Amino acid sequence: MSQRPRLESDAKPGCFSGFNLARLLRRKSSSDVDTCLRGGDTVGDQKSEVNELTGGAGRHRNLLPYGDGVDWATNFESPPSYCPPEYLLNDAKMPVLDAEIIKTIEAKLDGLDPQLRVLSLKIHDHPELAFKETYAHDIMTDFMEQHGFNVTRHYAGLDTAWRAEYTFGRGGRVLGVNSEMDALPGIGHACGHNLIAICGLGIAVAVKTALEVHRVPGKVVILGTPGEEGVGGKIILLERDAYKAMDVCLMAHPGPGPIGSSSNGTTSAAQSMYVEYSGKAAHAAAAPWEGKNALDAAVIAYSSISALRQQMKPDLRVHGIIEGSNWTANTIPDNARLTYIVRAPNKKDLADALERVKGCFWGAAASTGCKVKIEMHPAYYDLRQNSALGNEFARNVISRYDMTVNDVGSAASTDFGNVTYELPSLHPLFAIPTEINGGNHTPAFTKSAGTKEAHTATMKVTKGLALTGFRVLSDCNFFDEVKAAFEADKKARAAL
Ligand SMILES: [Zn+2]
Ligand SMILES: [Zn+2]
């Protein structure tokens, strides 16, 4: 994810609306072996109460204070957990899954912990850029094979994508998991994708073990998803039907924040724009009137966008750079390129913002007489966190791992947002210990992503997601809630 400076919040941090403890207590135990429907099927007259959608509500309710010298190690005030304090004081502390299933999943992950730590450090110490993650591809696919999965290397026509699956019994649902692998130019794993990588591996192997031990029919499919940083690997995989068979999909992402916290908040929708001005070269002193200055066009566009920014809503972001070839001070530049990213809280606001930004590019072309070409890659959508999955994850990590869960969003973006539009999905943003002002995409975060403390935080989240994923496979009623939450969100986003 690419991160941004702080945005002032216009909403008070608070609880997830509709979070209903009593309803959670009423849920039946999920230890029954699943005998009902798989994804896509409908369920008789079951009425699922579903909480108000929270994280993917269409606007950033509040954003994580970023930078500003916040010392997360000592700042325990914000943001609050969205579970009421009494939740931790009564018997709701007991999770819904059968105790033996929990024991199986936790014991498996405790056993895998040293191996996952080694893998994480290997990936951390061999940073690879988008679509060049060959080392990570190889060691992760070897790991999955060693743990009894059927592995497809170089999946879906992408050199560094991979897929691994395991099926127990017949029928049942399909749990999807994602592992990211790519790093950033010059600063290595400054987005902590080495932690995301092992989180996915851990979820998949732990759920496989629980399916076998407790004889629950179902399938686990994990995708190694390359090229998250700016090139949308998951969007390509979506286009190539890699997610088609999944009933839900899970992953998690590290970031700064209060120690022991995680967020089910949303992220921005984002659109990359590649703009090229073509002008006419001329001697800058002898005959400047013969030239058409592409650099001028780029500078005018840049300035126009800077002026536009002050009339934009505070949760929008527009940022970019200017580049050129063979520029010299005594020649009118005949070429200039700009790369911009426009971000907004949701797809609709993004579309509106894009029109205004395009106007700046066109205006600069008109004023300089240059030609302009605007190319756009597929957009990253905002995260539509599934509220049922989010509540279940929260219940698990709050009750068992002393974590807090909030709904504070981020102005950063992820290609997993597109996945959340297609199927019920969850992408918690969890905190790892960071230096002051050392958030994602800084060298300090690279260091943080390699620490033992970051690994410990990752393993807690991995356990919470594995428990959540297993419940999707083992509990028909819960899966109905997940589906209902997805449908409710579809309506919510259609109304935007
Ligand atoms: Zn990033
Ligand atoms: Zn990232």
Domains in the chain with CATH codes? 21-267+382-494 (3.40.630.10), 270-376 (3.30.70.360)
What is the C-alpha to C-alpha distance for residues 245 and 219, in angstroms, rounded to an integer? 10
Which of 7-16, 120-129, 335-344, 375-384 is least confident?
Answer: 7-16
29: CA distance to ligand 1 center in Å? 38
Q: Name beta bridge partners: 406.
A: 263
96: CA distance to ligand 1 center in Å? 34
107: CA distance to ligand 1 center in Å? 31
What is the C-alpha to C-alpha distance for residues 183 and 130, in angstroms, rounded to an integer? 7
pLDDT digits (tens, 9 = 90+) for 109-137: 999 999 999 999 999 999 999 999 999 99
Residue 303 or 410, more confident: 303
The pLDDT of residue 15 is 26
190: CA distance to ligand 1 center in Å? 7
488: CA distance to ligand 1 center in Å? 29
What is the C-alpha to C-alpha distance for residues 391 and 400, in angstroms, rounded to an integer? 14
For residue 416, the SS3 value is: helix
The structure's pTM equals: 0.82
What token pair was written down for 459? Answer: 């393993």
Is pLDDT of 262 > 50? yes
Tell me the ligand closest to 184's alpha carbon: 1
Is pLDDT of 28 > 60? no
What token pair was written down for 320? Answer: 């970019």
Which of 102-106, 163-167, 281-285, 311-315 is least confident?
Answer: 311-315
Query: Span 151-173, mean pLDDT?
Result: 97
Residue 358 — pLDDT band, cuts 50, 70, 90?
Answer: very high
CA distance to 87, 388, 407, 468, 476, per residue, from 23 (Å)? 12, 12, 20, 17, 16
Tell me the ligand closest to 193's alpha carbon: 2
254: CA distance to ligand 1 center in Å? 10
445: CA distance to ligand 1 center in Å? 11
Instruction: Compute φ and ψ for 337, nearest 5 degrees.
Output: -125, 145
The pLDDT of residue 312 is 94
- Asked if omega into 345 is within 30° of 0 (cis), the reply is no
Average pLDDT over the chain, rounded to an integer:
86
Pairing of strands 261-263, 317-323: unpaired
Residue 59 — pLDDT band, cuts 50, 70, 90?
Answer: low
Strand order in the sheet with 335-344: 317-323, 335-344, 269-278, 371-376
The pLDDT of residue 348 is 86
179: CA distance to ligand 1 center in Å? 14
Query: Span 373-398, mean pLDDT?
Result: 94
Distance, CA of 435 to chain centre: 22
469: CA distance to ligand 2 center in Å? 22
194: CA distance to ligand 2 center in Å? 10
pLDDT digits (tens, 9 = 90+) for 426-476: 999 999 999 999 999 999 999 999 999 999 999 999 999 999 999 999 999
432: CA distance to ligand 2 center in Å? 13
246: CA distance to ligand 2 center in Å? 23
Is pLDDT of 49 > 80? no
Is pLDDT of 47 > 60? no
195: CA distance to ligand 1 center in Å? 12
Return the ∠ at Cα 247 (arms to 472 and 225), rounded to 5°. 110
Tell me the ligand closest to 181's alpha carbon: 2
C-alpha torsion angle, residues 134, 139, 140, 141 (rounded to 10):
90
226: CA distance to ligand 2 center in Å? 11
413: CA distance to ligand 1 center in Å? 8
228: CA distance to ligand 1 center in Å? 8
Tell me the ligand closest to 2's alpha carbon: 1
The pLDDT of residue 65 is 60
229: CA distance to ligand 2 center in Å? 7
Which of 275-279, 392-396, 447-451, 486-490 is least confident?
Answer: 392-396
Tell me the ligand closest to 442's alpha carbon: 1
Tell me the ligand closest to 195's alpha carbon: 2
What is the C-alpha to C-alpha distance for residues 136 and 127, in angstroms, rounded to an integer? 9
The pLDDT of residue 1 is 57
Per the CB < 8 A criterion, the answer to whether 446 and 190 are in contact is: yes
What is the C-alpha to C-alpha distance for residues 437 and 444, in angstroms, rounded to an integer? 8
> What DSSP element (H or E) covers 23?
helix 21-26
Query: Span 163-189, mean pLDDT?
Result: 97
What is the C-alpha to C-alpha distance for residues 448 and 431, in angstroms, rounded to an integer? 11
Query: 52: closest CA among 488, 493, 496?
Result: 488
